[in-house]
Amino acid sequence: MPGGHLTYEERRKIAEGLAERLPYAEIARRLGRPRSTVGREIARNGGPYGYRAARAQHAAGRRARRRPYAPVGTPAAADAGERDPRAVRAFEERLTAFLSGGMPAMAAKVLVCLFTSDTGNLTVTDLTERLRVSPASVSKGVGWLEQLGLVRRERDNRRDRYLVDDEVWYRTWLAGTRSMAMWADAVREGVDVLGVQTPSGVRLRTASRFFDLLSADMALAAEHYRQAFSTTGDVTR
């Protein structure tokens, strides 16, 4: 019913509408729901090309089980346990500082901002307001994250919306696996150049074996993740 939570049947109809390439407005009309409700549902659950009804239903269940957010002092906040804004801010700063050790500072700020938002997706306007920086700064941070597959971009009502999802670490890990394989190939080339029996050749051959084994182990770990979480509905692609 309009105004209430989406049901699995409604999510299934959304998926069918997307498969038929129907506009969001038409899907919303068929459901008797506001277009904004349908747009948010699709954006937070994989976008128009990745939306799956079962996965969206499971994600909604997970969100419902989490401690809900409400402005401090409201009845809902009192029922759920108020979030301390200072504690939230301190956590965001600590996480940003930690991530900044391995990525540009602005990219770290954007990633933390997305991770600590309840929706997991924000527009450029949202990010500039929360981070108090220019749109150009946000775009630079987002661009770096997109290259690594840490953030996805979806077009929603003529606006770019940036998302993080449950597969972000899986994709990043696979990228690391490919990187290890490339290291193995690059080092192995030097074995023939420097000589198999020379000290430097032996050293490079050992390094190449190390990267080969590490790449294989990382690939197995990634597959274990996919199988383990797909059984609970967390990863289904």
**Residue 181 and residue 153 in one domain:** no
> Which residue numbers in the chain have pLDDT < 70?
1-4, 62-83, 166, 226, 228-237
> Is there a domain that residue 83 lies in?
yes
Last residue of a domain, one of 146, 163, 180: 163
**pLDDT value of position 229:** 62
Distance CA 163, CA 22 (A): 22
**pLDDT value of position 31:** 93
Contacts 24+ apart (CB under 8 A), 89-94: 91/116, 92/116
**Residue 178 and residue 208 in one domain:** yes
In sequence order, what are the residues at sequence separation of 6 or more whose Cβ sits closer than 8 angstroms to the Cβ of residue 222? Answer: 170, 173, 174, 177
**pLDDT value of position 3:** 53
**pLDDT value of position 76:** 38
**pLDDT value of position 43:** 83
**Residue 158 and residue 183 in one domain:** no
DSSP conformational letter for 67: P
Domain span at residue 143 reads: 75-163
Partners of residue 121 on adjacent β-strands = 163
> Is there a domain that residue 99 lies in?
yes
**Residue 226 and residue 203 in one domain:** yes
Helix ranges (H only) for 124-198 are: 124-131, 135-147, 168-194
